[in-house]
Structure 1
Amino acid sequence: MIKHTEIILASGSQTRRDLMNRLGLQYRCIAPDIDESPHGEIHADELARRLAFEKAQLIAGQYPNAIVIGSDQVAWREHAPQDFIGKPLTVEHAIAQLQANSGQSLYFSTALSVQQQSSSFEHTLVEQYQVKFRTLQLDEIKRYIAQDQPLQCAGSFKCEQLGISLFEQMIGADQTTLMGMPVMQLCRILRQLGIPLP
């Protein structure tokens, strides 16, 4: 069992905070300031893995006794893992993303990195999740965006809210992977570190 002083979520994401809150653990959030642009990666898995690792590494370097959790997610369409889909940020871009998603399969590469510098512990992994969009009409897309405001969400939807209405099928081992952090894998790693979870 590894002794720890605290758990830190290396993220400023409210969604990841909500996922952490499910576990009932005491933790705090510190948002890492890293460059999230691609550095020559040719697959979404590679980019997500690097970003999750760097987020955790930066905070673990500042708090070497803490268990630090970093996570990142990259979206991509079927057969195009090299074409990364980012956050739309504007209504116009969200409309364009959802029009492009209509009738298509969208994949999410979600990376998790758990690090504790003082014990030299580091475990980084990538999980994938797939959603199949139904055929979407423009008026449906506009109504959805107005209600859910998914402008900070890659792929332009919030699956935990009304975004579920856009899908025909969801395929993956753990729905939290789609939400931005694979919590089942996180629980497994935290148990390895001696954190009591049911």
Structure 2
Amino acid sequence: MMYSEIILASSSSTRRELMDRLGIVYRCVSPDIDESPCDDTHAEELALRLAIKKAQHVAQQFPNALVIGSDQVAYLNDATSQFIGKPLTEAGAIAQLTAQSGQCVNFATALSVQIGQQQFQVDWVEKFSVQFRTLQHDEIERYVAKEQPLHCAGSFKCEGLGISLFESIQGHDQTSLMGLPLIALCKILRQLDLQLP
């Protein structure tokens, strides 16, 4: 299947770092979409809708490109319960981590790969869960001050010091916890005859 270029539909520096691991030529185009929940009642449903919408938005601008969209939704306990967003402030991050102390936080990370002109689309949702340790308030404050996870759902960066907050993690692909499920993406790219490695 032919495509002119590979575009990551994201402005996330973490997703760019993950894409860089693959050693392929690509560029980023920020999808200017509304990411607020609509009638979505399930975390997987919301993550998938947003990943598809991001990829579609960019694929409409670049119909010959292979476009990669991704989105992640975090939630406590039941996937239909209140979703956990980005804290945006230090106070918000401290409040999130306080609520998550001793709890299991789940993540649904969706992927949509599209080539608009060829009507090609493959979608995927990867699930991951994190069991937090019982955290002391001073630990939470120190962590937030050091790593500033203000734009991370759940208020942590597992690729950094955030790993120290966990009792355990469970899932098939740790990169999905970081926001882009690379194992699933590589499988799709190989189906499109892209050599990896």
TM-score (norm 2): 0.98
How many Å separate the matches in 1 of 2:67 and 2:79?
32
Cα deviation code 1:49-82 (max 9, x no counterpart): 0000000001011111100000000000012533
| Structure-1 residue corresponding to 2:75 | 76
Aligned pairs for 1:105-184 within 5 A:
105-184=104-183
Cα deviation code 1:100-132 (max 9, x no counterpart): 000000001000000001211101111110000
Identity between Structure 1 and Structure 2 (%): 62
| Structure-2 residue corresponding to 1:59 | 58
SS at match of 1:106: strand
Cα deviation code 1:129-152 (max 9, x no counterpart): 000000000000000001110000
How many Å separate the matches in 2 of 1:144 and 1:178?
18
Change (3 A) 1:80 1:120: closer
How many Å separate the matches in 1 of 2:78 and 2:109?
17
Structure 1 residue runs of 5 or longer lacking an equivalent are: none
How many Å separate the matches in 2 of 1:80 and 1:62?
33
Contact kept in structure 1, 2:44 and 2:79, CA below 8 Å: no
Structure 2 residue runs of 5 or longer lacking an equivalent are: none
Amino acid at match of 2:63: P
What is the root-mean-square deviation of aligned Cα atoms in Å?
A: 0.7
Amino acid at match of 2:58: I
How many Å separate the matches in 1 of 2:32 and 2:123?
19
| Structure-1 residue corresponding to 2:36 | 37
How many Å separate the matches in 2 of 1:37 and 1:90?
18
